[in-house]
Amino acid sequence: MLFPLSKEFASCSLFQKGGPHHEAPVHRVWSVDHTGSAARTKELHLLLTDQKPYKCHERLALKQAQEGQRKDNARMSEWRENLREMGERLDGESLGRTQEMQREIRAYKKRNAASDTNLRSMLRDQSKGHFGFLAEMGDRVNSMENLSTWGGNDPRESRERTLARKNSHKGVAEQGRNYNQAIKSLQGELDNRGPQEWTAVPKPSNDTIVSRRKAKGIAILTQQKEAWEGILEGIQEREQVRVLAERRELQRQGREVELRLNADKTRLLQGLSDTMKGKKAELDDIQARVNGRGSGRPEHPDFQGYAAAGYTAVEKSQSRLRDHAAERADKDADHAGSAAKLLCLSMPLQLRNRIVAANPPRKAASLIGTGLNSPMEWSDMNWTQKWSLLSTHAPQRAIQKAQEKAGVDSQGMDMSATMSPSEQRTLSPRTLGMATTS
């Protein structure tokens, strides 16, 4: 907090002259005063052990609060007294410095007045001498005879006077040169004079002090800015070097990874090619066996007898025979539901969404011809009900494609048994496998 200043106080003199200053305050660390905490803890413990009422606790708290308030008031009074003493001391120092500054101002004005008096007296003497010279010259001119009374030759100036007049002109010119030279030398001495040569050092103005401090601060800030810019440039250069090194390392790792991926891709493609070749050979073998199998029905137009030549029966493994036997013996197996799921999934999703959007199952009009009686949501329907809705409202060609793709009909019967070898060639490998192994 700044102390109040009087009107006669000059702040520039206070900071220029310096003087006794107080030491800088150390860094204060605030701590909680625990004085008397043991006694207060003991009193509170006694109140608790004696099971005193709440009013006793309030009286104890009020007593401690009043004691703390008295201590705070004492500390505040001491602080105010110290602040008052400091203000009085500062006022005294300010008054003393103001008086000293006024005394120096009076001495400076006195010196200036004496110098002005000496200059005026010198100029007055020079003026008197000049006017005396002019008066003497006028007296001499007036004492001379009138020119009209002269006869004969005009009086001429004597040689001594002519020489004196020329010497006087030369003397004036010499005095002027000497004066100019003296002024130049004096100005040089004034320019080169240090502050220790001053008898009374003039105090700079506040604007001069502010400008000097600004220039000094700007110089320090400029130096710090240049140093900081050098540090930042070094950091940026090191960061660029690090980024370039990391980028080169990442590019190297990327090339290695790309090479590994290409090698893996090559091996994968080779494996897929080998697998496809094996599958294709297997399918060709299956197709050859299917095509070479004779007709099995006497009423077939191409019937050539049972077990025609060129057909080789495919032997099934024991596990597959057990699975087929268990499936045929399972009376609870929902073959129709499985077939309906396979048919629904064989139909394209977009077509299914369009059919359900145009004929929502929650409307009774959409269930006409499906064999369903109660409207419901699509998500609540089972696969059999879904296929009933789709087969009722879907185009016949879409139903046939779904059956060809799934290889079963809505009752779960294998459709490959009623297809000709030319139709079987268009089936998927999974359907052909089911047809030859069933």
- Only one residue has tokens 């004034």, namely 190
If one compares 292 and 181, the residue with the highest pLDDT of the two is: 181
Interatomic CA distance for residues 392 and 369, integer angstroms = 7
Which of 6-10, 265-269, 362-366 comes out lowest in average pLDDT? 6-10
pTM check: above 0.75? no
User: Average per-residue pLDDT in the chain?
Assistant: 78
Per the CB < 8 A criterion, the answer to whether 35 and 226 are in contact is: no
Q: Percent of the chain, pLDDT > 70?
A: 72
Query: Over the stretch 48-67, which tens digit does the pLDDT of each residue have?
Result: 887 888 888 888 888 888 88
Task: Kindly list the domain boundaries of the chain, sorted by start residue.
Answer: 1-15+42-121, 210-299, 317-437
User: With bands split at pLDDT 50, 70 and 90, how would you rate the model's confidence at 4?
Assistant: very low
| Contacts made by residues 98-101, CB under 8 angstroms, sequence distance 24+ | 98/8, 98/9, 98/10, 98/13, 101/10, 101/13
What φ, ψ does residue 14 adopt, rounded to 5°?
-65, -45
Q: Which pair of tokens denotes residue 162?
A: 């002519």
Task: Report the half-sphere exposure of 357 (CA within 13 A, side-chain side).
Answer: 6
Give the pLDDT of residue 9. 47
Query: Over the stretch 316-344, which tens digit does the pLDDT of each residue have?
Result: 678 877 876 776 666 566 667 778 888 88
Which of 205-214, 226-235, 366-375 comes out lowest in average pLDDT? 366-375
Per the CB < 8 A criterion, the answer to whether 41 and 64 are in contact is: no
Query: Over the stretch 407-420, which tens digit does the pLDDT of each residue have?
Result: 776 555 544 444 44
Query: Over the stretch 156-194, which tens digit does the pLDDT of each residue have?
Result: 778 888 898 889 889 999 999 999 999 999 988 888 876
pLDDT above 80: residue 296: no
Interatomic CA distance for residues 166 and 172, integer angstroms = 10
Give the pLDDT of residue 424. 37
Give the pLDDT of residue 39. 79
Winning range, highest mean pLDDT, from 23-37, 112-126, 304-318, 424-438: 112-126
- 3-state class (DSSP) for residue 118: helix
Give the pLDDT of residue 222. 92
If one compares 35 and 206, the residue with the highest pLDDT of the two is: 206
Give the pLDDT of residue 205. 81
Which of 58-62, 201-205, 252-256 comes out lowest in average pLDDT? 201-205
Give the pLDDT of residue 28. 62
Per the CB < 8 A criterion, the answer to whether 337 and 384 are in contact is: yes
Q: In 193-317, which residue ranges form alpha helices assigned H by DSSP?
A: 206-292
Per the CB < 8 A criterion, the answer to whether 133 and 172 are in contact is: no
Interatomic CA distance for residues 352 and 381, integer angstroms = 14
Give the pLDDT of residue 61. 83
Q: Percent of the chain, pLDDT > 90?
A: 23
Give the pLDDT of residue 369. 81
- 3-state class (DSSP) for residue 298: coil
